[in-house]
Amino acid sequence: MDALISYLVNVISLGGTYALLALGLAVVFSVLGLINFAHGELMTLTGYVLLAGILTGQQFWVAVLIAVLACGLAAVLMEFAAFRPVRNASGATLLMTSFAVSMLLQVLFQNGISARGQAIPVPPWLTTSISIGNSQISKVQVMSITIGILALIALKIFFDRSYWGWAIRAAADDFEVVGLMGIKASRLISFAFLLSGLLAGIAGVLWVVQRGSVDPLMGFKPVLAAFIVAVIGGLGSLTGAVAGGFILSAIEIALQTWLPAGVMPYRDAITYTVVVIILSFFPNGIFGKRDQEKV
């Protein structure tokens, strides 16, 4: 029973972060057809802004808020400076641009801040744990789960009830039709980047608080995981991004929990093998749109 509780807590905690990350990617993909690999660097930026906020004496939650807003703003600026000039170029050009932005930001972080990781001084109360039955759960995980669930609920309300939420959902189905309905493409894309940046900011806070440090290359692993999550769920599918997050998390945690010690070094390889098996049954992702062929 304790093992099951621990498993569920770990899956929800990690899955929520993955879902937020993948949603950030999916929102931009919906409107621009771009997988933004610089999304991870937005997370890294959040970590550095959070650190700066804490070191300049801001309250922890104030620093968190500033970091998330800064990330949203940075995403809008990224779109304006890097992606807008090549918006009508091919998918390959957009992809290369996102890699270039990612590399540029990494080098800027390394040379402008430090090549070494920087510790994030979180409040002492976050370093303890609470008991559920015989299981102990760290407060960082509790925070991660709470924020993750609240963010997902807020997103659900946003997508269901707001004008821009409808616009992004519609764009995910057919971007051209959204344009024909009078919504300006530039504003929609900027808004999608803002939302993507805010999601990267929330995920970034959860990531660095759990990890305890921020470093220039921190964004690579999470963006890779988010990409896989988005593919599992179906590229461009917002529901799929959430589902994919929890599926990947469930696979990773299950393997980490129950794989025999001798096989453990192959955990990542097994995880990705399972992902390939899932994709062999759902080539467009679980919630992806099927390719339509006209006869």
Q: Is residue 6 a contact residue for other proteins (CB under 8 A)? A: yes
Residue number with CB closer to other proteins (160 or 268) = 268
Helix, strand or coil for residue 118? strand
- Measured at the CA of 25, the angle between CA 30 and CA 171, to 5 degrees, comes to 10
* Candidate list 17, 30, 44, 97; residue touching other proteins; CB under 8 A: 17
DSSP 8-state code for residue 128: S
Residues 9 and 2: their CA atoms lie apart, in Å, by 11
The backbone torsions φ and ψ at residue 181, rounded to the nearest 5 degrees and listed phi first, read -85, 5
CB of 250 to other proteins, least distance (A): 12
Residues 192-211 that bind other proteins (CB under 8 A): 207, 210-211
Nearest residue to 23 via CA among 140, 188, 158: 158
Residue 48 near residue 109, CB atoms below 8 Å: yes
119 binds other proteins (CB under 8 A): yes
Q: Tokens at residue 62, please?
A: 């104030």
Handedness of CA 199, 185, 227, 22 (dihedral sign): positive
The Cα 44–Cα 214 span in angstroms is: 7
The reply to whether 141 sits near other proteins by the rule CB under 8 A is yes
Closer residue to other proteins (CB): 174 or 268: 268
Is 212 one of the binding residues for other proteins (CB under 8 A)? yes
Amino acid (one-letter) located at 64: V
∠ CA 19-23-24, nearest 5°, is 120
Question: What is the closest distance, in whole angstroms, from the C-beta atom of residue 204 to other proteins in the complex?
Answer: 12
Instruction: Choose the binding region for other proteins from 60-68, 134-142, 146-154, 182-190 (rule: CB under 8 A).
Output: 134-142
Residue 127 binds other proteins, judged by CB under 8 A: yes
Q: Which of 85, 93, 173, 221 binds other proteins (CB under 8 A)?
A: 221
Instruction: Quote the DSSP letter at residue 289.
Output: P
User: What does DSSP assign to residue 290?
Assistant: P
**Of 185, 268, 216, 229, which Cα lies nearest the Cα of 45?**
216
Q: Nearer Cβ to other proteins, position 115 or 157?
A: 115
Residue of the chain from 173, 257, 273, 283 that contacts other proteins (CB under 8 A)? 257
Q: How many residues touch other proteins (CB under 8 A)?
A: 49
User: Which residue's CB is nearer to other proteins, number 49 or number 140?
Assistant: 140
Question: In this structure, are residues 98 and 36 in contact, taking their beta carbons and an 8 Å threshold?
Answer: yes
CB of 256 to other proteins, least distance (A): 4
Piece of 35-43, 170-178, 231-239, 260-268 that binds other proteins (CB under 8 A): 260-268
How far apart (Å, rounded) are the C-alpha atoms in residues 27 and 200?
11
Interface positions, 223-242, toward other proteins (CB under 8 A): 225
Q: Find out whether 230 and 22 touch, Cβ atoms under 8 Å.
A: yes
Segment 89 to 118, residues that bind other proteins, using CB under 8 A: 106-107, 110-111, 114-118
Q: Per CB under 8 A, which of residues 50..79 are in contact with other proteins?
A: none
Binding region for other proteins (CB under 8 A) = 3, 6, 9-10, 13-14, 17, 106-107, 110-111, 114-119, 121, 124, 127-129, 136, 138-141, 207, 210-218, 220-222, 225, 253, 256-257, 261, 264-265, 267-268
